[in-house]
Structure 1
Amino acid sequence: MEKILVTGSTGQLGSELKVLSENYAQYEWVFADRTDVSLGNLDLLKGQLERIQADVILNCGAYTAVDKAETETELADVVNHLAVEVLATYAKEHGVKLIHISTDYVFDGTSSTALKEVTNTNPINVYGATKRAGELAAIAVNSDIVIIRTSWVYSRFGNNFVKTMQRLLKERDTLGVVNDQIGSPTYAADLGQAMIDIINAQEWIPGIYNYSNEGEISWYEFVLAIQEITGDSCEVSGIPSSLYPTPAARPAFSLLDKSKIKDVYGVGVPEYRESLKKCLMFKV
């Protein structure tokens, strides 16, 4: 029985994979939090991987506090870059399949067309820079891995944009939401299923792939979609990002082209409204 290690098991994606794993009893699943697999401590990490001896690693762990990364640069680099290199090296040495999750933040947001895997990267914040460094380091030591870039991840688990907006739509009479950052959200359960589909595929085809739900929207339009489902009466208006400054710059355009992952692995990519409805059905 193949053993699948999921890092970052208490995060949004790891939590959704734990639910999905119940449908795949042919595998032995190991769900590791930051104490079981310490991406922030490279000395511990190597020994932990040796003890677990997985056949497949799904690296869902990351330093994702985008604004805090601007000041916690060293920790962000260890988790998003150096630890990924350790995982890729271990996978190479032990013949282990590795799927690593990356981000749309490796791009600078200046494109006006959907971003392909070969589009030039140019991160504009520390988080994006450390994630890109992790991609490059991993590929340099192990070309036989799968990297999936995703965007605007949300889930029924953890803290995320959808949950925050659900709360604010109920608490406030008016709400201003950024309308000049364009992309597409990703329901973590859909991304988790895509990862499992890749594991189950007849052929392992390494490389970088994009995955998010279908649709091209702004954060403002995303909130309108949430409101349409919840029926809250809050008055929502679009505002420019210049009125909502953050420590870390955000790419203005990060819509991902998903044609490669669909063509190579036959992965399903649901429309964002359908996935949003599914997520909002759950009460956690």
Structure 2
Amino acid sequence: MRLLIAGWHGQVARALIEAAPSLPHIKALAAGRAALDVRDPRSIERAFSDISPNVVINTAAYTAVDRAETDEEAAFALNRDGARLLACAAARRDIPVLHVSTHYVFDGTKKEPYVETDAPSPQTVFGRSKVEGERAVAEVNPRHVIVRTGWVFGPSGRNFATNILASANASEPLRVVADQHGNPTYAPHLAALLLDIAHRLAVERADDVWGTYHAAGSGVTSWHGLATEILARACVTNDTEPTVVPIASSDYPTAAPRPKNSTLDCARLYERFGLRLPPWQDGVAACIARHLES
């Protein structure tokens, strides 16, 4: 299978780039903006001509949630228009596209976990741009799988886990939001799942796989719970173990509102593909092990 990965710097893209070479049945090429600008049709055409992929995974996205509130044009150019151009190029070649999306398509007011059939109701520019990207992909390429995920973290780069570890030795207690809940998702776990799905899309021609799926770490916690688990696993000490103080969302204002409930129901993914991501605590353990090795 020849796989084109659109994107380079994000958590999921880096995990895909790391994992793909270990799979002998996959020949993958990841292309960042210098080699593949999804906003530029000519750049897309060159990439398809050079690689001749069987499947495309689109991780390219504008993900600066707060900055998007004042940078709407750039967010939509990448998350909607770029997604459309890439999916359209794949459709012209009858190539399936695996498109990564987000829990931000929902407003977070539902009490139960969100299922794929829940109506999107984004409350941020980022969320609206991702909803429009989903719709664009589905509109131009019938052979699409859209995977919504959330709370992605990894052992490197800038993300919640590395930020918590970097702050662990501060003299002041860590103040972390405790009234937002979701499924923490370890980027390498998600990457392995995406590669599995991509391989199936390349070798199976079943018509019942297309559509939208939720894929996130098993189990639910708050940001405070995730921070506490990270520090407990890391055994970080500075005379005493860092104190993690639970705070309300109102105590940590952001330009873009965060959903109170980001929990995703991933049952459909298991029913169709037999795939389920490990418990989020396993992801934390793997993340900390990698971090301590570096």
Q: Which moved more, 1:248-257 or 1:167-176?
A: 167-176
Alignment of 1:104-183 (within 5 A): 104-183=103-182
Could you tell me which of 258, 273, 278 is aligned with 2:281? 273
**How far apart are 1:46 and its partner, in Å?**
4.0
**How far apart are 1:122 and its partner, in Å?**
0.3
Alignment of 1:144-223 (within 5 A): 144-201=143-200, 203=204, 204=206, 205-223=209-227
Distance 2:223 2:69 in 1: 22
Distance 2:105 2:223 in 1: 19
* Contact 1:15/1:157 (<8 A) preserved: no
- TM-superposition CA deviations, 1:214-273 (whole Å, max 9, x none): 111110111111111112311111101111111111111010001011110011320010
Matched residue, 1:252: 260
Letter in 2 for 1:228: A
Letter in 2 for 1:168: S
**How far apart are 1:16 and its partner, in Å?**
1.0
- TM-superposition CA deviations, 1:86-111 (whole Å, max 9, x none): 11111111011210000000000000
TM-score w.r.t. length of structure 2: 0.92
* Contact 2:26/2:199 (<8 A) preserved: no
* Contact 1:11/1:157 (<8 A) preserved: no
* Structure 2 runs not aligned, ≥5 long: none
Alignment of 1:18-33 (within 5 A): 18-33=17-32
Q: Residues 37, 219 of structure 1: CA spacing in aligned structure 2 closer, same or farther, 3 A cutoff?
A: same
**How far apart are 1:143 and its partner, in Å?**
2.1
- TM-superposition CA deviations, 1:181-224 (whole Å, max 9, x none): 11111111111111111123363511100011011111011111
TM-score w.r.t. length of structure 1: 0.95
**Poorly superposed stretches of 4+, deviation over 3 Å:** 40-52
Matched residue, 1:62: 61
SS at match of 2:33: coil
Matched residue, 1:12: 11
Distance 2:7 2:15 in 1: 11
Distance 2:89 2:39 in 1: 16
Computed over aligned residues only, the root mean square deviation of the Cα atoms, in angstroms, reads 1.5
* Structure 1 runs not aligned, ≥5 long: none
Q: Which moved more, 1:27-36 or 1:142-151?
A: 27-36
Equivalences, count? 283
Distance 1:31 1:141 in 2: 23
Distance 1:22 1:89 in 2: 27
